[in-house]
């Protein structure tokens, strides 16, 4: 592993969980844990003190839950938040998505999945655990699609191609390979898509594409 390690702040009200996360997120995998919080109300001060690259956030906590803590971090221009959740937390997933989380990982996912997710959100790609993606997509595939907003008509054919691949869970490098364009061009397209559609991040783009039938029609 070369280059500077990704720094992470752990937020979970269970010491055993934080201990387990510390064992997974190691320097040899390019990650250094720089701080911990036992509840969501500790997060703003910890972010200011440690300035982590990523906040790894549990969603269920006693005083301030992960959704409110994520909203506080995102609203203050803080680092990306990677939410930790369980498979049954559909309502929490929706809430933390609206609050501005950059990614989701299930607590029972393999260690490699968490490591991959931390690196992804640190470089600005966003990340959805494959099982979470499947759950989100199932929800919107089984529901009637809402009419596409007028803003969709402002997307170029290439931007629609990129949005479709984002919605299918492709990374920037995978999109670049599929469309035979550079990674820089992919990022540029994604930035314009977000601007035109008023989206904050990749998870929001995935939900948007399926909600409005953009993927199903392509």
**Residue 8 pLDDT exceeds 90:** yes
- Tell me: do 115 and 172 sit in the same domain: no
One-character DSSP codes across 129-198: -HHHHHHHHHHHHSSPPPPPPGGGGGS-HHHHHHHHHHHTT--HHHHHHHHT--HHHHHHHHHHHHHHHT
Tens-digit pLDDT profile for residues 93-124:
777 777 888 888 888 889 999 999 999 899 88
- Tell me: do 123 and 60 sit in the same domain: yes
- Tell me: do 174 and 114 sit in the same domain: no
Q: What token pair was written down for 184?
A: 């820089």
11, 43 contact by CB (below 8 A): yes
Tens-digit pLDDT profile for residues 15-57:
999 999 999 998 888 999 999 999 999 999 999 999 999 999 9
Give residue 35's pLDDT: 95
Is 1 a member of any domain?
A: no
User: In the chain, pLDDT over 90 holds for what percent of residues?
Assistant: 47
CATH number of the domain encompassing residue 43? 3.40.50.2300
Give residue 89's pLDDT: 62
Is 218 a member of any domain?
A: no
Range of the domain at 99: 6-137
| Long-range contact pairs involving 61-66 (C-beta distance under 8 Å, separation at least 24) | 61/11, 61/12, 61/13, 62/13, 63/39, 64/39, 64/40, 65/40, 66/11, 66/40, 66/92, 66/96
Is 216 a member of any domain?
A: no
Number of domains in the chain: 2
- Tell me: do 13 and 121 sit in the same domain: yes
Q: Which of 118, 137, 156 is the C-terminal boundary of a domain?
A: 137
CATH number of the domain encompassing residue 154? 1.10.10.10
- Tell me: do 87 and 188 sit in the same domain: no
pTM to 2 decimal places:
0.73
Distance CA 29, CA 112 (A): 10
Is 88 a member of any domain?
A: yes
**Residue 200 pLDDT exceeds 80:** no
């Amino acid at each position: 592993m070369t280059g500077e390690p990704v720094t992470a702040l752990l937020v979970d009200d269970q010491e055993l969980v934080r201990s387990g996360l510390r064992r997974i997120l190691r320097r040899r995998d390019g990650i250094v844990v720089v701080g911990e919080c036992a509840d969501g109300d500790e997060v703003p001060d910890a972010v200011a003190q440690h300035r982590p690259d990523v906040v790894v956030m549990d969603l269920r906590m006693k005083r301030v839950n992960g959704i409110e803590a994520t909203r506080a971090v995102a609203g203050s221009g803080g680092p990306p938040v990677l939410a930790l959740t369980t498979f049954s937390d559909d309502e929490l997933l929706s809430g933390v998505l609206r609050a501005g989380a950059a990614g989701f990982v299930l607590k029972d996912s393999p260690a490699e999945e968490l490591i991959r997710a931390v690196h992804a959100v640190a470089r600005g790609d966003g990340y959805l655990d494959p099982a979470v993606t499947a759950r989100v997509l199932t929800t919107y595939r089984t529901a009637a699609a809402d009419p596409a907003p007028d803003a969709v008509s402002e997307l170029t054919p290439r931007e629609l191609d990129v949005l479709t691949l984002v919605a299918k869970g492709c990374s920037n490098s995978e999109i670049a390979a599929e469309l035979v364009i550079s990674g820089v061009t992919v990022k540029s397209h994604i930035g314009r898509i977000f601007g035109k559609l008023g989206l904050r991040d990749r998870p929001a783009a995935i939900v948007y594409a399926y909600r409005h039938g953009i993927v199903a029609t392509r």
